[in-house]
Amino acid sequence: MAMIAANPARAFGVTTPRACFKRATRARTTPRANLVDDFFDAVLPKPLTQARKSMEFFDGPGGMLAKVIPWNAKPTVEAPRVDVDGVVFDFSRMRGDEFAAKFSSLNDVVMGGRSDADVVLENGRAVMRGVTEDQFGGFASFKCRDFDRALDLSAYDGLSLTCAGDGLRYKVIAYDSDDSFNVAFHQTFECPIEMREVKVRFGDFVPVKRGRAVAKSDPEYRTFDGKRIVSLQFMLSKFDYGMENLNTNYKPGAFEFQLARVEAYKD
């Protein structure tokens, strides 16, 4: 579990009941598919519409089927230029249109769940807020589109997250390939109420595939050293490291998570 280094700022409360939660209006990053897009918006239930849009944001037109469409390239964004201070994301320096082109929510609606959350850029922070429900997936998250080249942070010991929230246990997920169904690496952390720095060590990340922790005896088991990072995801989930491992510091309902900065650190 992650270490928390004090660097307090102001506290805030979470007052986001489902009745009051309204998804933020996001700038469009790709041309609307006109009549086809309008048709699906009109006939599909809201959760399916959200699932379709999430998959298309990350995988391109056709969603998960985009992998079998040879002319449909998966959308990517320019990889962060990590300089001597190790900064990966500094949301105080990011424009709104840049944020909307790189980040989007990714909730359990993609697997039949009912959680509803969105992420926006507010006051120099990535703010994810909404409501989680225990049905099916039981998670809400936001993720960056895949980088156009893998980020090599193997010279560092881990990631430092400057964040604040509701005291619940969240997790950061690192991907080392562009296949979201492949092994990804999860590490939990307790989100502080006030803005503080939370450190997660690369060596503590747990390999997970399709909702199950990868056993050391499994041929796909591997450790994580930050050598290859294709994308990062930040999640509130009822599971820690797979569906057999419940998050004991999770509760369904309204939540809010603020992330100001992500940087690589050395001990």
pLDDT in tens, 189-233: 999 999 999 999 999 999 999 999 999 999 999 999 999 999 999
Alpha-carbon gap, residue 68 to 70, rounded angstroms = 6
Backbone angles phi, psi at 209, to 5 degrees: -135, 125
Alpha-carbon gap, residue 187 to 237, rounded angstroms = 12
Give the pTM.
Answer: 0.81
Joined together, the tokens standing for residue 93 give: 């320096």
Residues 6+ apart with CB under 8 A from 224: 174, 176, 185, 202, 203, 205, 207
Joined together, the tokens standing for residue 20 give: 């009051």
What is the structure's pLDDT at 109? 86
Work out the pLDDT band at 30, boundaries 50, 70, 90.
very low
What is the structure's pLDDT at 28? 46
Residue 198, classed as helix, strand or coil, is: strand
135 pLDDT higher than 80: no
Could you tell me the domains of the chain? 3-22+76-265 (2.60.120.430)
CA nearest neighbour of 130 among 99, 108, 147: 108
Over range 63-75, report the average pLDDT: 66
Residue 246, classed as helix, strand or coil, is: strand
What is the structure's pLDDT at 38? 58
264 pLDDT higher than 90: yes
28 vs 235, which has greater pLDDT?
235
Over range 76-97, report the average pLDDT: 95
205 vs 62, which has greater pLDDT?
205
What is the structure's pLDDT at 134? 84
Work out the pLDDT band at 265, boundaries 50, 70, 90.
very high
Helices 46-59 and 34-43 sit at what angle, rounded to 10 degrees? 140
Exposed / middle / buried, residue 159 (Cβ in 10 Å: 0-12, 13-18, 19+): buried
Over range 181-191, report the average pLDDT: 97
8 vs 252, which has greater pLDDT?
252
Exposed / middle / buried, residue 14 (Cβ in 10 Å: 0-12, 13-18, 19+): middle
